[in-house]
A = this chain, B = another copy of it.
């Protein structure tokens, strides 16, 4: 069967079946990061392969931003397990016509974020290639039990950190190629180019054992909520008017105001579930972590599926959306 027909999830499922967890694997393919044992202790491990022309376009992404983001998306996976990132392996395919200043620029972006989170670059592999390739593997330490996608129960509240849709709207502005200026535009572009991995919030949720399930939003709220629902065997009810939107987003989203917030990719916000008993503790946690945390819905029995209600209580039609290329497993 052609991969284009088998599709992203078909392929991942196929790989998962072929990679039966071996000894020491507490959590293999199918969450934000793997969780594996050592002789003493355990690690979280995640990897991403970014390919020029598929994942990024050097026409509108600087190499410094690209370096920053390629690390950020992996730190976000560690955040989504409630872990602390420690080390990064970076393998590069570099076009032969690059000069050393360009490589330096990419490392400047990587190092900036690495220093901020005390992550050490420990090695990798560097090659020539036709297109720029960036392969990142991050190793981190779990806090208590890593927070999986699979622990949510019907009745749990559903939360997100930060605001939704900014990065996707920023990318849309770039794609329109109409030069636009102003503070709101800058804010959205910044959200697209330099996403913030929510490490403090993730770590506090794990430390205080408050979340029953967690994922980072890379493919859009609805799609990533779907992963939690599938893994946890629950449905979900989302109140559209509770989705956190930034001022910049409200100013520039235009007619399709909910489109990117519901289905736009690359927010890298945390989506998590928690029992209603913990509402006050989660409110406090947001302040401590320095990030807005919004309660946007509730987990339902699995038969309910995923439903989004508008401000009048009417169901919102959800188109199948999200990223098309094969994704992380």
Contacts and interface: CB of A to CB of B under 8 A. Distances in A.
A79 to B, nearest CB: 16
A252 interface: no
A131 interface: yes
A3 to B, nearest CB: 5
Helix, strand, loop or mixed for chain A's interface? mixed
A137 B19 CA distance: 15
Given A122-B34, A133-B133, A40 B43 contact: no
B123 A33 contact: yes
Contact of A125 (B48, B94, B126): B48
A139 to B, nearest CB: 7
A51 interface: yes
B49 A123 contact: no
A114 B19 CA distance: 10
A97 B11 CA distance: 14
A11 B103 contact: yes
Contacts of A133: 49, 51, 93, 133
B15 A49 contact: no
A70 B99 CA distance: 28
Contacts of A89: 34, 45-47, 137
Given A19-B121, A122-B29, A51 B127 contact: yes
Given A47-B89, A111-B18, A29 B123 contact: yes
A176 interface: no
A54 interface: yes
A324 B111 CA distance: 28
A322 interface: no
A135 interface: yes
B129 A23 contact: no
Given A14-B103, A97-B2, A25 B120 contact: yes
Given A2-B97, A40-B40, A120-B28, A125 B329 contact: yes
12 contacts: A15-B126, A18-B104, A21-B120, A22-B120, A34-B122, A40-B41, A43-B43, A46-B89, A48-B91, A49-B135, A125-B327, A127-B327
Given A48-B125, A49-B127, A125-B327, 8 more contacts: A4-B96, A29-B121, A29-B123, A41-B41, A45-B89, A45-B139, A53-B130, A91-B135
